[in-house]
Amino acid sequence: MEQRSRISDFEILQKIGKGSYGQVFRVKRKIDQNFYCLKQIDIQQLNLKEQQDTIQEVTLLAKLNSPYIIRYYDSFIDNGMLNIIMELADQGNLAEYIQKQKITKKPIPEDIVWKFLIEISIGLYHIHSNKVIHRDVKTLNIFLAKNNTVKIGDLGVAKLLDTHSFAQTTVGTPYYLSPELIHQIFGHQDVQYMNFVLIPNPLKHLIKELLQ
């Protein structure tokens, strides 16, 4: 995709998500009929910190290139809206996949579990190799594409590191925090989160107790 698109270049097909900063749509590019994910954010409604977080997500997405990370294509401002064009992972997310398996009472095959873990690990390795940590690795932020290929997404709280630093703040979804993070022991957060991406339940009672 050539950069610097306009919103009129796309046909909005379906709203597929809504977050604290904006909405996400499934769109089709008119010129080539290809499907993409459009994240649309009203930057005029954001405070300074939220604007910085949004710009950081765009910067980080553009920096990363891995088959296991949601691919960034373009970003542009149109009518006061920041539009981020990304790869469409149209098989939902890992949380939905796990929930479907629970409903059907079918255990996830061991080879599929290993596939997910390996692909998540490779994606995180690429992120870390670019001196970035995700800081909110959870099943809702791990999307699935064709053949259930893992696509790590939602880098809104990711952090760029210089060569002499590591993250010193606790950021993320409490349900997925490791005991070390809960007790304020920092560093290597993504690896700690990943330990519980597929099996978060062991933390449930501990977190409930600590947050009371």
Taking the chain (212 residues) in runs of 10, the rounded mean pLDDT of each run is: 80 87 91 94 82 75 88 88 91 90 87 88 86 77 91 67 44 46 45 48 38 36
Please tell me the predicted confidence (pLDDT) of residue 117. Answer: 86
Please tell me the predicted confidence (pLDDT) of residue 21. Answer: 67
Please tell me the predicted confidence (pLDDT) of residue 182. Answer: 41
Please tell me the predicted confidence (pLDDT) of residue 199. Answer: 43
How far apart CA 134 and CA 100 sit, in angstroms, is 26
Token pair in block for residue 24? 């996400």
Q: Which of 9, 74, 136, 154 is catalytic?
A: 136
Is 32 among the catalytic positions? no
Token pair in block for residue 111? 């080879």
Domains of the chain and any CATH numbers? 7-86 (3.30.200.20), 94-211 (1.10.510.10)
How far apart CA 164 and CA 69 sit, in angstroms, is 25
Please tell me the predicted confidence (pLDDT) of residue 20. Answer: 64
Helices (H), the chain: 48-63, 94-103, 110-129, 179-182, 189-194, 204-211
Give this prediction's pTM.
0.70
